[in-house]
Structure 1
Amino acid sequence: MAFHSLSQLFFLLLFLPTFVVSQTSNITLGSYLVSSKDSPSWKSPSGDFAFGFYQLQNQDQFLLAIWFDKIPNRTTVWYANGDNPASQGSKVELTRDGKLTLTSPNGLILWNAASTVDGTTYSIEGAAYAALLDTGN
C-alpha cells in the first residue's frame, strides 16, 4: 500500500513542473504595447493581474502599471515613472536585447527596468522573455 502511494506521488511530482510551466504565458523579445484609450495589456495566467498602460482619469496620460484586473475598479499595485506619466502613443517594449523600456512617441526613453543594490543602479538586460505571474510579479 505504501509503495502504491509513493508511486502516485512520484508520478505527480514528475509531471508537476510541466503543468506549472505550461500555465505561464511568456512575453517574447520584441513584444510591445502602445498607450491608448483601448490599449491591450499582458495578463497573468489566472487573469487576476494585468501589466500595461493605465489611463489616468479624464486625461491622455498613462502610467505603466500592474493592476488587479478582475475587479470593477482597477486597483494599481505597482507603477513606473509616476512623476512623469506617459503620453498617448508611448510604447513599452521588451527589446530584442532583453531590456524592458518605456519610450515617448518621439522615441525618448522615459523609464527602463533597473535594480539598485547598495546605492548602485544596474540596468536589467539580457532577459530571454518576460512573464507576469499570478502573484503580480
Structure 2
Amino acid sequence: MVLSPRRVDPARAVCHRHDVDVLDPQIALQLAAELPPNVFDEVVRTFAADLSRLTGEMRQAAQRADAEGCRRSAHALAGTAASIGAQALERQARLALGPIPPQAGSQELEEIERILDATLRALQALPGAPPSL
C-alpha cells in the first residue's frame, strides 16, 4: 500500500491526510488569556523564532548528512511545536525521528517547511499576536 504524502492547504490550515489543524486554537488562546498582552506578544515571537531556527538546524543537519543532528533538531522541533499547539508541525517533526532521517531536498523537509509557514501565519492571525513575526 502506498501512502500519499501529507499536504497542507495554507488557506484552510489543515493537514489533509490526518485532518490535523495547523494550530490548536485552544492552547494558543489559553496562553493569550493567561498572559498579559506584552508577555503573550513576546511568547509568540519567541516560539516563531524557535520554530524557524529549529527547522533551519534540521535542514542544515540533513545537508551535512548528520543523521543524529537531524534527529536532535526534529525532536526539539516536535517539543517546541507541541508546547504552542502547532500540532501538524509536531506530527511532521515526529515522523522525522524515524530510523532514516530526512535527506537534504527531501519531500519530508519541504513538507516541514510548508507546515512551518502555515503555522507562522496561524500564529500571526491569533488575537493579540504581534503584527509581524
TM-score, normalised by the number of residues in structure 2: 0.28
Q: Which protein has the larger Cα radius of gyration, Structure 1 or Structure 2?
A: 1
| Greater fraction helix | 2
TM-score, normalised by the number of residues in structure 1: 0.27
| Greater fraction strand | 1
